[in-house]
Every structure is written in C-alpha cells, then in structure tokens.
Structure 1
Amino acid sequence: MNSLLHALIRALRSHRWLRLLGCAFILSSLGNGLTQVVVFGQLLRWQASPATLTLAYMLATLPGFLGSLWGERLCRNMSPLRILILCEILGMLALIMPLYGVLTHNITALLAVQSAEALFSGMSYPALTLLFKRGLSAEELPAATALETLIFAAQVLLGTGLGVLLFDVLSPLSLLTLDALSFAASAALLAGSLAHFTVCTPHDSPPKKDAEPPLHWKTFTPLQKRSVLLLPALAAVGSPAMALLPALAQQMHTQDTASLALPLLFARSLGQLCGPLLLNANKLRHYSASNLRLLVCLMLFLAGYFLLPHFALWPFAALTLIFGAHLASNVVFALGTFGVLSHFQGADVARASALAWRGQVFIAAIATGIAGYLAENAGAAIALHSVSLTSLAGVAILLWRYRV
C-alpha cells in the first residue's frame, strides 16, 4: 500500500530542505503544545469556568483570521521561508505573556498568548502551503499533506504528551523555558532550510511585479470551491466538540479534572496523526471526491464525543473513543489540505490556503461561541449535541451543493 507515510519518507530522502523544515516544525509544534499545557493546566488548577475554557479554545483560533490575511500579503513580496522564520521569532517573544500570567495569577495574560500563537499560525499557513507548492513536484504533493498532518498533530502529540508527563514534575516556568528553546531551535533549522531550498518547478517560481492578479472566489471552479470549503466544514463539526472537551472532562471528573483532560488532549492528537498517514497516496483524489466517505468520517467523529460522557468510570475507554474520533476527523483534514495543494497553481495556492484558513477560523469561532454559551447555561453535553448535529446537517448540504 502506497500510504502517505511512504510518500513522506520518499520526499524526505530527496529534499534536504524538507528534512530541516520538518524538524523545525516538529520542534515548533512541541513548543506550541507546551504553551497549551501551561495555559489549560493553570486554568484547570484555578477552577476556571466552562465559558473561560471555551474562550481559551476560541482565542487559540480566531486571531488566525487576521494572521492569514497578513500571511497572504507577505507571500506576494517575501520568501515563504523567511515568513516562517519571522513567525517562530515572534512566537518565542510572545511567551512573555504566559510568564506574566503565571507569576501574577492573571487569566487574561494566559488567554492573550493563545491569541498571539493563533495569529502567527495564521501567518505561517499560507506561507507553508506555498513553500510546498514551489518546492515539491506534483507527484510529491501527498508527502506535503502527510507533513502538514504530522506538523499539526505534533503540537499536541509531542507538546501535550511531554507536558502531561512534566506538568506535575516541573514548574510552569520550567515548561515555558523549554518552550522558548524549542522556538529558538526551530528558527535556526528554518534558516538552514532556507540555505538549501530550490524551486522544483519553473511555473511555481516567485511571482513578478507584472504577474497576473490572484484568483478570486467568483473565478474558482466548483471543484476548487469544494476544496477550499472542506476545512471550514470540518471546523463547523469539529470545533464545538474540541472546545468542549475540557468542559466534558470537568463534568466527568470534578475532583481532578486535569488528570483526565490532559490525557484526552494527547489521545486526540495521536488520532490526528495516525488517521491520515494510513491513507493510500494514489487514491487521495478518489477519497476527496466521495461525499459519503467524508460524512461517515464526520459521523464517526461525533459518535466518539457523544459517547464520551458515558465512560466516566473507564478512562481507557474514554481515551480510545477520542483517539478513534480524531482518527476519522483528520482523514477529512488531510483530504482538504491535499485538495488545495492539487487544484491550485503557483501563487494562487497561497490565496486558496489563506481563504480555507480564514473560513475555518470564522466558522470555528461562530460554532465555538454558540457552544460555549450553551455550555454555560445548559451544560456541555447538550451544547455538544445541539451545535454539532446542526453543523453536520449544514455540511451535508454543502457537500451536495458542490458534489463532483
């Protein structure tokens, strides 16, 4: 079976810049995960309300809307690798906020770093997509999909995994120090990647001043629109559930919430990593065209979250449910990122990925805000069922509208 993992290994063997980039983003994701452990761990220790926990999740995504606008503009005049280096340096500087929050017991400062990291993630996403388009051939694009999956899963898989192990062993200040070191090392590796990077195909070279203007939504083909909308569709279904996960853990284990919530976050990212890597790289176009397959994956995701409160007495079963849920959801994520990479050419891929990111952030903010309000007034379980099922129905209509 020609899985995405095999495609990734082949591409890593062929491109030294890609190896350095992968190591850099794994380290950066480690830092982002440690930041989340410090933020959510301290909020849970301080007995923050479900609304505050949901707000923390929202702030970890919403500023990415503005960040993607900046990233898209920067991609027109600046090397995408230089943009990524800039984001790493800014991410390291942003750690001043959680440091202040921990020292002064300031919840606002902890929430502020979530906004900053989301802003820099939004800036880096179109740059990363454009970099893959320029540096990899069409046959190597499944490897880019696999690496994006690995990068975003590593944030919780490595960062939260290490953070869960060290949260009660090291002080938050020590965790933030490790966080800062990971950002610094990532910036250094990206500088090395910049020195070895070469454009793979001539038509994906950096745009000139007299180049054609970027495509706009009205000029997208139905297939291109469907590709851009897959990630926002996933956000509509998945964001309320993921935002409510700490609150669900709080209802299940009222005495020691952190002991369940943090392992659940780890199981979530483990599923995010494993699911897409098992896909057949040669069948990605076929998979992404199947509405039934996409809807089944989203329904399996919701089933895991819906059943979670019923397994409060069996932590291992609860972890298995969350692992399986994200195994399914990140198949949709992988197909969405592949669709953007494969159906857009040249510099247009940066705009398309930025549009997908902004749509994802905007939809996630709306769905998460509604879920947080309902959780505060009716409970996390009712909020999860009402918002997620409504979103799933909307996604089904959307996929039918742009069916291929």
Structure 2
Amino acid sequence: MFKFLCININFFYFAIASLIMQIGIGLTQVAVYGHLARIDASPLYFTLAFSLATIPGLFSSQIGSYLSKKVNIIFLCVAIQLLGAFSLFLPILGINNNQIILLLFAEFISAFIAGFIYPISQIYIKRVFTDKNYLPLASKLDVYLFSINIIIGTFIGTLLYAYFNTENYLLINSLAYVISSFIYVIAYFTKKNISIKNLIITENFSFNKNNRFLNRRILFLKNFSIEQKYPFLILIYLPIATTPSISLLPTIGNKYGSNILILGINLTPALLFILAKTIGQIIGPMLIKNYMFEKFYNNKSVFIKCNFLFLLMYLVIYFIDNIYISIILIISAHIFSNIVFSLGMFATQRTFKIDEISDVSAKQYQISTFSMAIISLMSGFLVKYIPYYVLIFIPFIIIYLLLFFQENTAKSLILNKRKNSIDKVD
C-alpha cells in the first residue's frame, strides 16, 4: 500500500483532500444534531435534518456525473469545496439569529457536496488504478477513508461537542473545505492528465444520449449485460439488507441507559455502537487477501452468507442484555458487511469502463441513498407492528429471492444462446 501511494503521490493528495472534506461533513452533522438537542427542538426539525442529509445527494451526484464530462474533474472538486466553505456562513448566521431553518441548511450543503464528489472520486480511482492487480487496494482504501472519517468526524466530534459551541464546529468545517480545495489543487499539479474531463462516451452503453429518457434514466438496468448486472447491484443490495438493523440500533441501545462509564469516559450507548461499527468496517477489508477479490467479487453465495451472518449478529444483540457482548457482536457484524462492501467496490471498478464509471457510480449512489432513507423511515414505523427479529430479515429475504430468480434467468439465457448457436451450425 505505502509503496503504491509513494509512486502515485497524486492519489495520496486526492485521498487526503477527500478525507479532510469528509471529516468536516461529520463535524457538521454532530453540530446540527447537537444544537437541535441543546435547544430542545421539535421532532419535526430532526426529521428535516435527516431528509436534508440524504435527499440533496440524489440530485448532486447526477450533476457531478454530468459535469465530469464537461469540466476538469479536479476543478469541479475545488469549486464545490469553496462553494461549501462560503455557504456555511448562512447556518452560522442562522444560529446567531435563532433561525433553525438556516442551521439545517448546513446539512443540505454537506449532503450536496458528498453526492457531487462521489462519481468524480470513482473516475479518479479508475484512472489511477489502471492495473487490475491494484483494484483490491483501491476498494480497501475507500473503506478505510470512510471509517477514519466516522472515527474523527463523528465519534471524536461527539466527544468534544460539549466543549465547543456549534458555530466553532461549522467554522472548522468551512476551514476543512478550504484546506481540502488547496490539497486538490496540489493533486492536480502533481499529475494533471489524471483529472481531465470524461471525454469518451461508449456508444452501446445504457446511458447514451441516443437512448430514450425512460431507458436511460429509469429502465437502464435492462440494458446491462448479464456480467454487469450483479456488480452494479451489490452496492445497492447491501444497504437495503442492512439498513433496518442499523437504523433500529438506537432502540436497542436505549435498554442500557443514557450514559455508561468506560475507561473513565462517560459515553452514550449510541456513541459506543458507532465506534464498534467503525472498528468492524476497518477490520473487514483487512481479512480479504488481494487474490480473493478476483475469486469472490461475482460470487452471490458470499453476499448471501455474509449478510445472513450480519443479521444473525444483530438478532442476538436484540435478545441479550450485556453491552460488552453487544459491542463485540456489532464489530463482528460490520466485518461481514464490509467484506461485501469491499467486494462491491472492486466489482464496480473491475466491470465498468472508465467512461461508464461516473454514470454507474452516480446511479448506485442515488438508488442506495434513496433506499436507505425510505427503508429507515419505514423500519421506524413498522417496528411498532412487526417484531424486530422479523423486520430486519424482510429485505434480506426479498433480495435472496431476486438473486435466485436472476440467477435462473441468466442460466436460461445462456442455455438458449447455446441452443441457438448449435441450431445455426446444424
């Protein structure tokens, strides 16, 4: 890993810039929810904050994908960082004038930037990791960057929130955007040709402008080949299968009380569970050897087994009353989920071409984000009527059936093609 980063120092700068940006976003989320809790805001504002943390990314990821074909992608990164830095002065103004809506605008900015950057970062990764032997490393690095952001931005940010006011957190995020933009510039000058706009458009790809709007934007999946469908769907199926368990985790944490003293630090169960999730997310990719990515990325049984074990861990957590065992189980569960996540990142980068990756990753981001938002809201509502241990398995069973029918359909198509080719020969 270190040897690769030394050779590709431009990617090192790009990764650091992305990490600083993500840490700033994590601090903003802590600041917004912390301030709402501090002023005892109406539940409506918490719901709005949740919506603003997800919905903007659905649109901004498409904008980022589109602009990557028109503008140098590093210039896009720098522009959106500077826009974010200056935009955060509106939420600060809102705090000083008791305008909660303006404070919530900080969540809108963070979600918009995260969605905008996602397809661009996938293009950059695809261009840097041209050697397929290094794609497993790219998948692991993506997970590590995400996990470090949670540890620093969310976990440590939550611990320190009691000692800082909300304005300071937003100012830190604004500064993070500015620093990030400068490091993106350094990455650009280190290797300029990596960041050129996405000029080439594949003629037969499903997002081609010649296709009708319906096929291009809504029914695009039917235009994928058999080999492309599952790699595209892994990163969509995974959040669908795991979201009910994760979204309902706070309800499990409530049975352990509001605060727990561990190693002299007063922590909430929710914060401990966030840390446990992050530890599992970091360990998961470490357990996969590089040769295993090529072997397992298209293996549906690995997806099924890992997700089943994930749900099994969460099922046990529901029935036990020991927080230490619960933490170990959460770590274990997220080891399995992030093995699948790493394989999904690898599958996407390996299967799709460089001119396809921005549209593909934008679609993955949009569908998975929308699915998580809807499923988490539905889970919160349905848990009143359906037992937890039944509810968390419903998406998994649906996905299992989809994979089963998809596999049978694929086999039928292959057999028909072989039969037709034999008939032609005869």
- In the superposition, the TM-score normalised over structure 1's length comes to 0.85
Q: Per-residue CA shift, 1:306-343, capped at 9, x if unaligned? A: 3434455x443333232222222111111111111100
> Does residue 380 of structure 2 align to residue 372 of structure 1?
yes
Q: 2:280 aligns with which of 271, 280, 284?
A: 271
Q: Distance in 2 between matches of 1:299 and 1:57?
A: 28
- The match for 1:399 is 403
What CA RMSD, in Å, does the superposition of the two structures yield over aligned residues?
A: 3.0
Q: Per-residue CA shift, 1:62-93, capped at 9, x if unaligned? A: 32111111111111112222222233223333
Q: Distance in 2 between matches of 1:48 and 1:332?
A: 38
Q: Secondary structure at the match of 1:168?
A: helix
| Equivalent runs, 1:121-270 vs 2, <5 Å | 121-137=114-130, 138-197=132-191, 199=193, 206-208=197-199, 212=203, 214-216=205-207, 217=220, 218-250=222-254, 252-254=256-258, 259-270=268-279
Q: Distance in 1 between matches of 2:83 and 2:144?
A: 22
1:236: Cα distance to partner?
0.8
- The match for 1:27 is 20
Query: Structure 1 248/293 Cα, relative in aligned 2: closer, same or farther at 3 Å?
Result: same
Amino acid at match of 2:305: V
| CA contact 1:30–1:156 (8 Å) conserved in 2 | yes
| CA contact 1:50–1:247 (8 Å) conserved in 2 | no
Of 31-40 and 53-62, the range deviating more from structure 2: 53-62
| CA contact 2:202–2:356 (8 Å) conserved in 1 | no
Query: Structure 1 148/255 Cα, relative in aligned 2: closer, same or farther at 3 Å?
Result: closer
| CA contact 2:236–2:367 (8 Å) conserved in 1 | yes
Amino acid at match of 2:120: A
> Does residue 61 of structure 2 align to residue 64 of structure 1?
no
| CA contact 1:125–1:354 (8 Å) conserved in 2 | yes
1:22: Cα distance to partner?
1.6
| CA contact 1:32–1:179 (8 Å) conserved in 2 | yes
| Structure 1 stretches lacking a partner, 5+ long | 1-7
| CA contact 1:291–1:400 (8 Å) conserved in 2 | no
Of 283-292 and 237-246, the range deviating more from structure 2: 237-246
Q: Distance in 1 between matches of 2:293 and 2:55?
A: 29
| CA contact 1:228–1:355 (8 Å) conserved in 2 | no
- The match for 2:417 is none
- The match for 2:356 is 348
Q: Secondary structure at the match of 2:238?
A: helix
Identity %: 26
- The count of aligned residue pairs is 389
Amino acid at match of 2:336: A
Q: Secondary structure at the match of 2:11?
A: helix
| CA contact 1:90–1:120 (8 Å) conserved in 2 | no
1:44: Cα distance to partner?
4.4
| CA contact 2:72–2:196 (8 Å) conserved in 1 | no
Q: Distance in 1 between matches of 2:300 and 2:197?
A: 35
Of 392-401 and 47-56, the range deviating more from structure 2: 47-56
Q: Distance in 1 between matches of 2:171 and 2:123?
A: 31
Q: Distance in 1 between matches of 2:336 and 2:371?
A: 20
Query: Structure 1 93/309 Cα, relative in aligned 2: closer, same or farther at 3 Å?
Result: farther
- The match for 2:326 is 318
| CA contact 1:27–1:182 (8 Å) conserved in 2 | yes
| CA contact 1:271–1:325 (8 Å) conserved in 2 | yes
| CA contact 2:259–2:268 (8 Å) conserved in 1 | no
- The match for 2:338 is 330
Amino acid at match of 1:167: Y
Query: Structure 1 371/174 Cα, relative in aligned 2: closer, same or farther at 3 Å?
Result: same
> Does residue 83 of structure 2 align to residue 83 of structure 1?
no
Query: Structure 1 209/339 Cα, relative in aligned 2: closer, same or farther at 3 Å?
Result: closer
1:133: Cα distance to partner?
1.2
Larger Rg: 2
| Structure 2 stretches lacking a partner, 5+ long | 208-219, 261-265, 411-426
Amino acid at match of 2:6: R
Q: Distance in 2 between matches of 1:362 and 1:46?
A: 29
Q: Distance in 1 between matches of 2:153 and 2:373?
A: 24
1:251: Cα distance to partner?
5.2
Q: 1:74 aligns with which of 47, 53, 67?
A: 67
Q: Distance in 1 between matches of 2:346 and 2:53?
A: 24
- The match for 1:3 is none
Amino acid at match of 2:335: L
Q: Distance in 2 between matches of 1:48 and 1:243?
A: 21
1:51: Cα distance to partner?
7.9
